[in-house]
Amino acid sequence: MKKIKTKHYYFLFLLLFTLQAYGKEKAASFPPELLEIQKRYETSKGLLTEFEQTAFSALMKTEKKSSGVISILMPNQVRWEVQAPNPSIFISDGKKFLYYTPPFAPGGNGQLLVKKASDHQSKLMTALLTGSFKNSSDWSVKKVKDQEFEVLPKEGAAGDIQKAFLVINKSEKRIDSIRLTHRNGNRTEIRFKKFAFGKDKVNLSMFKFKAPPHTDIVEEKTLR
């Protein structure tokens, strides 16, 4: 009986040692440059930055450009405001996200879409914008160039996003651009500029939104 118990405990020791070693190896394999960026974003608690976006349509063979401002409050509150050419507002507070588009013509109605923040695509985008992409089993990260990294989501874990590429500034410890490849062949590139780190740079009221009059509200049933 003693021999059986000894073998049993020896097996458990080997199992625990293997799992621990695997966990250390997995943690060590995560790019240290991104760990530094994630640490800076987390400790700063807030970020205000301008962006320029280029969206390429594979079907129409056209490009659409837009620009605006992004406000981020760690760990998971994001306000993405497109200011030109067609204004719109996207807000996520970690529990739900809102997407507002004003009326296209005078006298018309705007639209407010309300969904759960657990939506796969918005979850990945929030992680990319806030630099919080390490502690998720939904995607893997690998270095492809000196300051460029590939984020590869698991099947069905990021909506129509097939993969993402991050271009960082190592000395400034920030993300300078994000490139997205979509499953339908579309591509999106987002470039950031004029970074202002710190919670004091972000207005807390920016993450609250009250629909103006003449707004059609489309809300997921599960939120009601």
Number of neighbours of residue 147 by Cβ within 10 angstroms: 14
Q: Is-contact 188 63, C-beta < 8 A?
A: no
Alpha-carbon distance 125 to 201, whole Å? Answer: 21
Please name the fold of domain 31-223: outer membrane lipoprotein receptor (LolB), chain A (2.50.20)
Q: Is-contact 195 47, C-beta < 8 A?
A: yes
**Is this structure's pTM higher than 0.85?**
no
Tokens describing residue 139: 């995607």
Q: Is-contact 77 207, C-beta < 8 A?
A: yes
Can you give the pLDDT of all 224 residues of the chain as single tens digits? 444 454 444 444 433 343 344 344 444 478 999 999 999 999 999 999 999 999 999 999 999 999 999 999 998 899 999 999 999 999 998 788 899 999 989 899 999 999 887 665 677 888 899 988 777 788 899 999 999 999 998 887 788 899 999 999 999 999 999 999 999 999 999 999 999 999 999 988 999 999 999 999 999 865 55
Sheet holding 148-153, edge to edge: 139-145, 148-153, 161-169, 174-182, 187-197, 46-57, 62-73, 77-84, 88-92, 96-101, 110-116, 215-219
Tokens describing residue 127: 């992680």
For 134, counting Cβ atoms within 10 Å of its Cβ (0-12 exposed, 13-18 middle, 19+ buried), the class is: middle
Alpha-carbon distance 42 to 35, whole Å? Answer: 10
